[in-house]
Amino acid sequence: MADSFLNAILAAVDFVFDLSKAIDSTKRLSQLATGSDKIVEVPADPKPLPPAAQRALAEAEERECARERAAQAASGTDQAS
């Protein structure tokens, strides 16, 4: 019984080593094929914004620009006095 348990453990360890070797071989093959060993995840194509969201974004950008212009005008007035 101890023999079969030991054989099962050794078989599992052997499987893990074989799996590790297969992963390493795949990485080496991809390095040869592409010239790089880095795995890069490509993001999905962005979905276009609906018209209401585009308008809201444009309005927010306009408010931000107006706020920046007001801040610049206030700092210019402070420096002049």
Helices assigned H by DSSP within 1-81: 2-34, 51-80
- Domain holding 32, by residue range, is 1-37
Q: Are residues 30 and 55 in the same domain?
A: no
pTM of the model: 0.42
Q: Are residues 31 and 54 in the same domain?
A: no
What does the pLDDT profile of the chain (81 residues) look like in tens digits?
778 999 999 999 999 999 999 999 988 888 888 877 676 777 888 888 899 999 999 999 999 999 999 999 888 765 544
Is residue 42 one of the residues assigned to a domain? no
Contact of 30 with 37, CB cutoff 8 Å? yes
Q: How many domains does the chain have?
A: 2
Q: Are residues 54 and 32 in the same domain?
A: no
Hey, what's the torsion of the CAs at 49, 51, 55, 57, to 10 degrees? -10
Please tell me the predicted confidence (pLDDT) of residue 77.
64
Q: Are residues 32 and 56 in the same domain?
A: no
Q: Are residues 31 and 55 in the same domain?
A: no
